[in-house]
Amino acid sequence: MEKTPDKISSSSEKNEVLNLKETELRLGLPGSEFLDKKATGFSLFGKDLKDENNKNIFSGAKRVFSDAIDGSNKWGLCTNRGSEVDLGKNDVLFSPRGANGGVKNTNILQSSHPAKEVPPQPVEGKKDENGSTASKAQVVGWPPIRSLHKNRLTTNLSRNNDVKGKSESSCLYVKVSMDGAPYLRKVDLKTYCSYAELSSALEKMFSCFTIGQYASHGLRGKEDLNECHLMDLLDRSEYVLTYEDKDGDWMLVGDVPWEMFTDMCKRLRIMKGSEASGLAPRVIEKCKSQN
């Protein structure tokens, strides 16, 4: 069951319990302890006076940006606290925010999402919840490798890890429609490596269509965002993500492994839950039971 600590009602004790200090959205990069000393901490690259005696300037006080990297999946940023959304098991289609889908390896502020989101956990050499050893928090510019080279390795690595459905083409654009939206969008499935990334990207893309409803309903002070996604809460109606496969059938997103999905998906449709009966009965039931 997905749980995202609700940042709206976050209290500092909650932060401590979940050790979210590092992931608290602040101006500045996680891991930069000097931020505490500044009144306004908008400081992307700079660092304060370094402790001259401290030779090991790498020990977490450096400006860093985090990439939660697990072995096979370079850009596979974990959703909250390291666990990937397992869409096979539950019917979550839009994850509660946690992942910055496909954020590029640039030294900018982590792409911010509205205040309640939790940026990915910076990993500093400790094992993440998946049990795999995460890599060290990175310093910009180190190791001195060109981005082109990095990108080549990324795709090579994932290919070498028995990724199925290797495609010859370099991008895979599919149309995405959302019921009630005036126009469609296109996404390149190749830029995502997991359902979590895709769903968060779609959320970003289509959130403008729910903002009006957002404003009118106001924020909900729920303690837990369960697996019903953000739009659900706001709108009181389900959205279900479906796709058309090679045979022309409309399928529920999330049943098959990601690579198989990208092979089979021809277009996506964000369906209103009321129309989705027969596709995702459990989702509807679950949300109904909350309301």
Partner 1 sequence: MAYSFPEEVLEYVFAFLSSHKDRNAVSLVCKSWYEIERWCRRRIFIGNCYAVSPQIVIRRFPEVRAVKIKGKPHFADFNLVPEGWGAYVYPWISAMVRSYPWLEEIKLKRMVVTDESLELLSKSFKNFKVLVLSSCEGFTTDGLASIAANCRNLRELDLRECEVEDLSGHWLSHFPDNFTSLVSLNMSCLGSEVSFSALERLVSRCPNLRTLRLNRAVPVEKLPNLLRRAPQLVEFGTGAYSAENQTDIFSNLVEAFSGCKHLKSLSGFWDVDPAYLPAMYYACTGITSLNLSNATVQSPDLVELIIQCPNLKCLWVLDYIEDAGLKALPSYCKDLQELRVFPSDPYGAEPNVSLTEQGLVTVSAGCPKLQSVLYFCRQMSNAALITIARNRPNLIRFRLCIIDPQAPDYLTLEPLDTGFGAIVEHCKELLRLSMSGLLTDRVFEYIGTHAKKLEMLSIAFAGDSDLGLHNVLSGCESLRKLEIMDCPFGDKALLANAAKLETMRSLWMSSCSVRRCPSSNVEVMDERGHPDSRPETCPVEKLYIYRTVAGPRVDKPNFVWTMDEDAVLRLS
* Cα 72–Cα 78–Cα 83 angle in degrees, nearest 5: 95
Among 125, 165, 180, 281, binds partner 1 (CB under 8 A): 125
Q: Which stretch binds partner 1 (CB under 8 A): 129-137, 229-237, 241-249, 265-273?
A: 129-137
Q: Is 140 in the site for partner 1 (CB under 8 A)?
A: yes
SS3 288: helix
* Strand residue runs (E) in 92-215: 173-178, 185-188
Among 3, 14, 26, 136, binds partner 1 (CB under 8 A): 136
Q: Which is nearer to partner 1, 40 or 289 (CB)?
A: 40
Q: Is 173 in the site for partner 1 (CB under 8 A)?
A: no
Residue type, 192: Y
Longest dimension (CA), the chain: 66
Nearest 10 degrees: Cα torsion 244, 247, 249, 252: -60
The binding track of 79-118 with respect to partner 1, each residue x by CB under 8 A or -, is: --------------------------xxx-----------
Mark 74-96 as b/e (b = at least 16 C-beta within 10 Å): bbbbbbbbbebbebeebbbbbbb
Which H or E run contains 267? strand 267-272
Q: Is 162 in the site for partner 1 (CB under 8 A)?
A: no
Q: Name residue 271's beta-bridge partners.
A: 240
Among 131, 144, 218, 278, binds partner 1 (CB under 8 A): 144
Q: Which is nearer to partner 1, 16 or 48 (CB)?
A: 48
Among 9, 12, 33, 46, binds partner 1 (CB under 8 A): 46
Among 79, 138, 210, 242, binds partner 1 (CB under 8 A): 138
Q: Which residues contact 165 (CB under 8 A, 6 or more apart)?
A: 259, 260, 262, 263
Binding to partner 1 (CB under 8 A) within 47-76 occurs at: 47-50, 52, 55-58, 62-63, 67, 69, 71, 74
Q: Is 164 in the site for partner 1 (CB under 8 A)?
A: no
Q: Length of the chain, please?
A: 291
Give least dist CB 197 to partner 1, A: 18
* Cα 163–Cα 167–Cα 170 angle in degrees, nearest 5: 115
Among 12, 19, 147, 277, binds partner 1 (CB under 8 A): 147
Report the interface residues with partner 1, using CB under 8 A: 42-50, 52, 55-58, 62-63, 67, 69, 71, 74, 105-107, 125, 133-136, 138-150, 152-153, 156-157, 159-160, 166, 168-171
